Amino acid sequence: MIRRLPLRTLVADDHRLFRQGLISLMNTRPDLIQVIGEAESGAEAIDLADKLSPDLILLDIYMPQQNGLQAAEVILTNVPQTAIVMLTASEQDEHLDQAVRLGVSGYLLKNLDAKELFDLVEGVSRGEVAVTRALASRMLRNLSVRKSKDQEPVEVLTDREIEVLRLVARGASNPQIARELHVTVNTVKAHLKKILDKLNVENRTQAAAYAMRSGLVIDETKN
């Protein structure tokens, strides 16, 4: 959503010195930002967002009475037209991922410089996402990892591991599997360890059950 300038902005941070310093910085760009309120807790940010309907909220993560992410979830439900940019010192991927899932309009670290902050905030007015290149790279990397984890477990097994799993499901012992595949027993054990890890199961019985459920082998007892 494209927003008219200046952006009516709420600044929420429980550290008074940082909050007031940020507001002073914002006041140097009246063409871009009009600060209409400040909050020192998540609960106060929610209340002021309801009352003021700001265009933009700069919202810290670590705050009392509902943290920034909890507050963002409520605000985006109550005042969906408001753009929220998380402004934080946290570099934890879990916070970044949660913010992305909530649908915030940006996630900026507090160590960025003033020009970069203003450029990214101006981008928000055009409907762009405010995020630095470094954080954008991390977001893409995290997304790639999540897609890999979301795959069906069988999709991450190698062809050899599937062969071993099928034999396990048919009741073959490690020595029998070794003879069948022309490998050593230690190699079979190594494959089994990887299979258990990838399927997130504890033993070969559970692995065999998975193989049956996934259709890798036919349950001959049903014939």
Q: Judge whether 2 lies within some domain.
A: no
Number of domains in the chain: 2
Last residue of a domain, one of 147, 176, 197: 147
Rounded alpha-carbon distances, angstroms, from residue 124 to 57, 90, 121: 11, 21, 5
The predicted structure's pLDDT at residue 103: 85
d(CA 23, CA 35): 7
Residue 114 is assigned to a structural domain of this protein: yes
Shared-domain flag, residues 195 and 94: no
What pLDDT score does 17 carry? 96
> Nearest 5°: phi and psi at 188?
-60, -45
pLDDT value, residue 218: 55
Do residues 135 and 177 share a domain?
Answer: no
- Residue 148 is predicted with a pLDDT of 47
Same domain, residue pair 110 and 176: no
- Are 140 and 180 in the same domain? no
User: Are 125 and 176 within one domain?
Assistant: no
CA atoms within 13 A on the CB side of 137: 3
Q: Which residues contact 158 (CB under 8 A, 6 or more apart)?
A: none
Specify if 17 maps to a domain.
yes
Phi, psi (rounded to 5 degrees) for 211? -60, -40
Q: What is the domain-level CATH number for residue 138?
A: 3.40.50.2300
Q: Are residues 30 and 115 in the same domain?
A: yes
- What pLDDT shows up at residue 188? 93
- Residues 115, 18 share a domain: yes
Below-70 pLDDT ranges, the chain: 93, 137-155, 217-223
For residue 22, what are the CA distances in angstroms to 25, 77, 204, 206, 212? 5, 26, 58, 56, 60
Of 147, 173, 196, the residue that ends a domain is 147
78 lies in the same domain as 143: yes
pLDDT digits (tens, 9 = 90+) for 56-100: 999 999 998 889 999 999 999 999 999 999 998 877 767 887 888
Amino acid identity at 152: E
Instruction: Examine the fold and report which residue of 106, 122, 147 is the final residue of a domain before the chain moves on.
Output: 147
| Claim to verify: residue 167 and residue 199 sit in the same structural domain | yes
Q: What is the pTM of this model?
A: 0.64
> Using an 8 Å Cβ cutoff, are 43 and 66 in contact?
yes
Domain that residue 127 falls in: 7-147
Give the span between the Cα atoms of 103 and 125, in whole angstroms: 16
Residue 210 lies in a domain: yes
Residues 6+ apart with CB under 8 A from 34: 6, 7, 8, 9
